[in-house]
């Protein structure tokens, strides 16, 4: 199967990827990726991946300074992870169903891993002037900010305010005493903002060369957003847009990227069954649970009578049945949210079908 893929997300999570797939075709065709320049670029990426394998074979690059407990619920990190990821990112490895969860459940499998990692290490925060008095013990996250220039530093927890005289605040932590002139600097009490909900899909698009009468499975995956601490319920339903476009370097066989279809006629010829119908997406923070990423399977059945051409079938994310949500809420109480309420201007996932008749 030759697959081209793109990725989408909500809230603090932004993914990006697209894949191309051939379904049971009697011939093969090289995707546009394999120009000489692209091949050179691929070799460079493979070389980089091999270097990473030598340097780091036990975890995602970039998490060395994070607590190991954050990722303790994930499957074992494969020694050849970065080599496989390069093949997947380049479009060389397209059979997503045979990529096991010890690869795609690692957070660095995401196409926007650097952005995701930055959100974990530097979560957004809300700050306000700290109401300090003599004898105050600072136990929260507090920063001191220079009013004149971009400079700030953090006050250690268990710091005592020993005196406030005029505009001078004296702080003591252990044996260290610091005096802060509040005419020059602000002492701010800050609280990190955690995610109540946020999720994304990767890949978010798949382009498939197929034929009348074909039936096949497509795999995509849903991921919880960074710093999301809640369990999220998401249900799925199919949708057929009258107009759709491929957002990647890939295209249909005739080099076009757009679909103009009659949704009612498309539904008559194409059946898409989603498994599972809904999921309970587990938290990604502070412990990245094993269920923070989950498989979604779409079984496509194409009628023998379908006219040749370009079609698009999408997946929308919706709230689950209210009765079921109430049952889950009794178990998870305030740790669960009904996701699928926010929308975007396109389906969360879309399969582009290039139904070709004359070549079969």
Question: What confidence tens digit (pLDDT) does each residue in 269-290 have?
Answer: 999 999 999 999 999 988 999 9
- Separation CA 273–CA 80 (nearest Å): 34
What order of strands is seen across the sheet that includes strand 137-138?
Answer: 137-138, 159-165, 168-173, 176-181
pLDDT in the model for residue 192: 61
User: For residues 21 and 254, which has the higher predicted lDDT (pLDDT)?
Assistant: 254
Tell me the pLDDT of the chain averaged across its residues: 81
User: For residues 151 and 350, which has the higher predicted lDDT (pLDDT)?
Assistant: 350
- Separation CA 19–CA 70 (nearest Å): 30
Res 349 pLDDT > 50 = yes
Res 48 pLDDT > 70 = no
pLDDT in the model for residue 7: 40
Tell me the per-residue pLDDT of 117-135, one tens digit each, with 9 for 90 and over: 888 887 777 777 777 777 7
- Separation CA 291–CA 7 (nearest Å): 19
CB neighbours of residue 151 within 10 Å: 10
pTM summary value: 0.72
Pair 18, 250: CB distance under 8 Å = yes
HSE toward the beta carbon, residue 240, CA cutoff 13 A? 16
180 phi, psi to nearest 5 deg: -120, 125
In the chain, helix, strand, coil percent, each to 5? 20, 35, 40
18 phi, psi to nearest 5 deg: -145, 150
CA angle 247, 97, 260 (to 5 degrees): 30
pLDDT in the model for residue 120: 84
Burial 238-265 (b: 16+ CB within 10 A, else e): bbbbeebebbbebbbeeeebebebeeee
Pair 144, 185: CB distance under 8 Å = yes
- For the chain, which domains are there? 4-120+195-355 (2.60.40.2310), 125-192 (2.30.30)
DSSP string, 83-151: HHHHHHHHTS---GGGS-HHHHTSGGGSTTHHHHHHHHHS--EEEEE----TT-EE-SEEEEEESSSS-
Tell me the per-residue pLDDT of 282-339, one tens digit each, with 9 for 90 and over: 999 889 999 999 999 999 999 999 999 999 999 999 999 999 999 999 999 888 998 8
Tell me the per-residue pLDDT of 212-271, one tens digit each, with 9 for 90 and over: 999 999 999 999 988 888 899 999 999 999 999 998 888 999 999 999 999 999 999 999
Q: Which residues on adjacent β-strands are paired with residue 144?
A: 153, 187
User: In 203-341, which ranges are continuous DSSP H helix?
Assistant: 263-269, 322-332
Tell me the per-residue pLDDT of 159-204, one tens digit each, with 9 for 90 and over: 888 888 888 989 888 888 888 888 888 877 776 666 667 888 999 9
């Amino acid at each position: 199967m030759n697959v081209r893929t793109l990725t989408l997300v909500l809230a603090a999570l932004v993914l990006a990827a697209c894949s191309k797939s051939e379904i049971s075709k009697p011939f093969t065709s090289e995707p546009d990726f394999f120009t000489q320049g692209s091949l050179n670029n691929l070799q460079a990426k493979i070389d980089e991946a091999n270097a990473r394998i030598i340097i780091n074979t036990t975890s995602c690059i970039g998490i060395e300074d994070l607590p190991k407990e954050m990722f303790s619920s994930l499957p074992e990190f494969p020694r050849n992870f970065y080599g496989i990821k390069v093949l997947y990112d380049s479009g060389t490895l397209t059979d997503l169903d045979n990529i096991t969860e010890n690869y795609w459940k690692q957070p660095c499998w995401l196409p926007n891993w650097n952005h995701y990692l930055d959100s974990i290490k530097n979560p957004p925060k809300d700050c306000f002037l700290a109401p300090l008095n003599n004898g105050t013990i600072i136990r929260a996250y507090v920063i001191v900010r220079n009013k004149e220039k971009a400079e700030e530093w953090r006050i250690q927890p268990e710091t005592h305010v020993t005196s406030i005289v005029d505009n001078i605040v004296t702080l003591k932590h252990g044996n260290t005493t610091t005096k802060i002139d509040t005419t020059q600097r602000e002492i701010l009490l800050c609280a990190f903002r955690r995610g109540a909900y946020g999720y994304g899909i990767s890949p978010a698009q798949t382009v498939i060369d197929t034929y009348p009468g074909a039936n096949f499975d497509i795999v995509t995956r849903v991921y919880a957003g960074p710093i999301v601490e809640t369990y999220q319920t998401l249900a799925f339903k199919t949708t057929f847009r009258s107009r759709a476009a491929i957002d990647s370097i890939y295209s249909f066989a005739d080099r076009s990227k757009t679909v103009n279809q009659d949704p009612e006629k498309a539904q008559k010829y194409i059946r898409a069954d989603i498994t599972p119908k809904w999921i309970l997406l587990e938290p990604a923070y502070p412990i990245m649970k094993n269920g923070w990423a989950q498989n979604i399977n779409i079984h496509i059945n194409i009628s023998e009578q379908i006219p040749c051409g370009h079609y698009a079938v999408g997946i929308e994310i919706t709230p689950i049945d209210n009765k079921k949500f109430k049952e889950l809420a009794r178990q998870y109480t305030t740790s669960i949210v009904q996701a699928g309420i926010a929308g975007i201007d396109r389906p969360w996932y879309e399969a582009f079908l290039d139904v070709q008749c004359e070549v079969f």
